[in-house]
Chains A and B, each alone.
Chain A
Amino acid sequence: MTRTESELRSIFLDQVKDIPAGERINRCIQCGTCTGSCPVSYAMDIPPRQLIALFRAGELETVMKSRSIWICASCYACTTRCPSGIKITDIIYALKRTVMEKNYHSKAHQVQILANLFIQNLMSYGRLHEGTLIRKYYMKTDFKRLFRLVPLARKMFKTKRLALFPKRIKAHHSLSRIIKKAHEIEMRHIPEKLDYAPEFVGYRGIGDLTLEPRKGGNA
């Protein structure tokens, strides 16, 4: 296994550990209910069932490059229906965070750009100003789409639904201090050395599960 794969595993498993019942990822029976329930799996290059299979096979690197993890719209259909109780949506969040943690791609994915702008927006005002977010996002990704939004913006203006200027909350400084501290705490958790035995792929990487050698021959 490459060094990168070990690092990825380590970060990913650390993220999974923070999800209540996150360790259930080891119970996947590969039934495909998640993929069947997902309204956007048709547009994924690697559907949810395969994401888990690849993780178990020690192929997180492949997973990191997929567009699937960005296209998840957080509808939780998979999570609700998983017969093994796997928190698939949260697992996909963990995958997103792993990519971002590692700065895995030289070019940020558009969802990542949107997420970063969202965070900036929240940091500046304490509340989301949709107009600023959308304008900045399209400026960065596809400014032509801004023109297409003009009729929509006009409708919003006419129905008094367009907030022209962002509003800042009063406790803006206090919120910034909270965010800064939370960020420090998060950084504290990133393991300095790899203590999840990431050289073990699949279930063993999770740590609390011991695999018994299979009895009864080599079948």
Chain B
Amino acid sequence: MRYAYYPGCSLEKTQRGYDESVREVFKALGQELIDIEDWNCCGATMYMSVRETVSLAVSARNLALAEGMGLDILAPCSSCFTILSKTNRFLNEMPEVQRDVNEALSNGGLSYRGTARVRHPVDILMNDIGLDTLKGKMRRSLNGLKIAPYYGCQIVRPDKTFDDRENPILLDKMFGAFGAEMVYYPMKVRCCGGMLMTTFEETALKLNKELLQCAVDNGAEIIVTTCPLCHFNLEGYQDRINAVYGTTFNVPIMYFTQLLGIVLGLTPKSLGLDSLFIPLGEKIKSLAEVPYV
């Protein structure tokens, strides 16, 4: 299959590990990602919450470009995924909004009929490619590695997407099948605070502390993430959380595609593991570094 790839702003540099691992994993599975040429920022939650028509038009420009390619959009960033999906739904459910947005788009020589589909890599990997195929390509076992799967909010909400909104299980199934031990993680869809880390730091630190605490208490050795913002909050602010709360967290945070890449036998370098702030524990390091036979 071919997909119109929409990396989103944070995957360009700040979260290059996600971008690199998504590209590598999809390549290894024989899928072709074609970058949407000259895509723009989806507007994120920030924009959506302050200017309606403008935010829809900004986001719809990307939908229009992908529609022109005739391919489904692959959007790994949870925020992009939600914003693009939501824009798509608004435009499809409200013809007058679609008319307005098209009027704006026509000023840039574009139009959107409403046919693009926005997909998340978890969905494509588990529902299109399927666990059997993934297992067939498995080169390394995760060998009892204890994982807390953190889905975050925006890939499962607000709309019913590809997994349960309260208790999604696709990541549990995926890594469980590769020999990992998925720990009990009741906070799997609780919010990390997102941009609150910038605007209400104290509140966001508390949320992230609780997420880390819950993972550690349940024995997790690593947390896997699906969202750049969750990832950054949990990883980049772990020091700060330790300083504020007197904790000693040292939990590696990994994108699920990075871990999947290891299972598929890809090299640590190609998966951007060198971009992680918190060193992986010996167990997983040995997994990643030992060449498979």
- CB of A126 within 8 A of CB of B199, answer no
A167 to B40, CA, bound (A): 11
In the complex, which residues of chain A have a beta carbon less than 8 angstroms from the beta carbon of B9? Answer: 127-130
* Contact yes or no, B50 A96, CB < 8 A: yes
Q: Report B-chain residues with C-beta under 8 Å of the C-beta of A15.
A: 52
* Chain B residues, CB < 8 A from A160: 16, 274-275
Residues B158 and A161 in contact, CB atoms below 8 Å apart = no
Contact, CB under 8 Å: A76 / B158: yes
Query: A interface, by DSSP: helix, strand, loop or mixed?
Result: helix
Quick one: which of A170, A171, A181 contacts B104, CB cutoff 8 A?
Answer: A181
B40/A20 in contact, CB under 8 A: no
The reply to whether A137 and B50 contact each other, CB–CB distance below 8 Å, is no
Binds B, one of A51-59, A114-122, A193-201: A114-122
Number of A-B contacts (CB under 8 A): 188
Q: Are B53 and A189 in contact (CB under 8 A)?
A: yes
Q: Bound state CA distance, A100 and B13, in angstroms? A: 32
Q: Does A155 contact B (CB under 8 A)?
A: yes
Collect the chain B residues with CB atoms within 8 Å of residue A114's CB: 46, 195, 198-199
* Smallest CB gap from B86: residue in A: A90
Interface size class of A (residues with CB under 8 A): 35 or more
B94 within 8 A of A: yes
Question: Does A64 sit within 8 A of B, measured CB to CB?
Answer: no
Contact of B13 among A112, A122, A163 (CB under 8 A): A163
Q: Which of A24-32, A66-74, A203-211 contacts B (4 or more CB under 8 A)?
A: A66-74
B97 at the interface (CB under 8 A from A): yes
In chain B, what residue has the closest Cβ to A21? B93
The one of A43, A174, A185 that contacts B109, using a Cβ cutoff of 8 Å:
A174
Contact B108 A178 (CB under 8 A): yes
B277 on interface, CB distance cutoff 8 Å:
yes
* Contact (Cβ within 8 A) A185 B38: no
Q: Does A18 contact B (CB under 8 A)?
A: yes
Chain A hits for B194, CB < 8 A: 73-75
Tell me which residues across on chain B come within 8 A of A186, comparing CB atoms: 51-54
Assembly CA distance A74 to B79 (angstroms): 10
Known: A126-B41, A127-B41. A137 touches B51 (CB 8 A): no
Q: B215 an interface residue at 8 Å Cβ cutoff?
A: no
Q: Is B154 an interface residue (CB 8 A)?
A: yes
Q: Does B103 contact A (CB under 8 A)?
A: yes
Q: How far is the CB of A72 from chain B (nearest CB, A)?
A: 8
B239 near A151 (CB under 8 angstroms)?
yes
Residue from A112, A134, A163 whose CB has the most chain B CB atoms within 10 Å: A163
B57 touches A (CB below 8 Å): yes
A182-B104 contact given A20-B94, A75-B154, A189-B53, CB 8 Å threshold: yes
Chain B residue numbers with a CB within 8 Å of A79 are 157-158
Q: In the complex, which residue of chain A has the Cβ closest to the Cβ of B211?
A: A39
A62 CB within 8 Å of chain B: no
Bitwise interface map of B from 178 to 222 toward A, beta carbon under 8 Å scored 1, else 0: 000000000001110111101111011001000000000000000
Selected contact of A20 from candidates B43, B48, B90, B104, CB within 8 Å? B90
Q: B146 contacts the other chain (Cβ, under 8 Å)?
A: no
Q: State whether the Cβ of B236 lies closer than 8 Å to any Cβ in chain A.
A: yes
B186 nearest CB across to chain A (Å): 13
Taking a contact as CB atoms under 8 Å apart, the answer to whether B275 and A152 are in contact is no
Does the CB pair B191–A73 fall under 8 Å?
Answer: yes
Q: Give the complex CA separation of A127 and B14 in angstroms.
A: 13
Residue among B153, B190, B199 facing the most chain A CB atoms (10 A cut-off) = B199
B58 touches A175 (CB 8 A): yes
Residue in B12, B15, B48, B50 with the greatest tally of chain A CB atoms within 10 Å: B50
Distance of A198 Cα from B205 Cα, bound (Å): 41
A-B contacts besides A20-B89, A71-B203, A89-B158, 12 pairs, CB < 8 Å: A40-B203, A122-B43, A130-B10, A163-B14, A167-B12, A171-B108, A174-B110, A179-B57, A181-B107, A182-B53, A182-B58, A183-B54
Q: Kindly list the 6 A-B residue pairs having the minimum CB-CB distance in the complex, ordered from nearest.
A: A75-B191, A174-B108, A76-B157, A182-B57, A75-B153, A163-B13
Q: Which B residues are closer than 8 A to A by beta carbons?
A: 9-10, 12-16, 38-41, 43-54, 56-58, 61, 89-90, 93-94, 97, 100-101, 103-105, 107-110, 153-154, 157-158, 165-166, 189-191, 193-196, 198-201, 203-204, 207, 236, 239, 274-277
- Can you name 29 A-B pairs with beta carbons within 8 Å? A20-B93, A39-B191, A71-B203, A73-B193, A73-B194, A74-B49, A75-B191, A76-B158, A80-B166, A87-B158, A115-B47, A115-B49, A122-B40, A126-B41, A127-B9, A127-B40, A128-B44, A130-B10, A151-B239, A162-B14, A174-B107, A175-B61, A175-B108, A179-B57, A181-B104, A182-B53, A182-B101, A183-B53, A183-B54
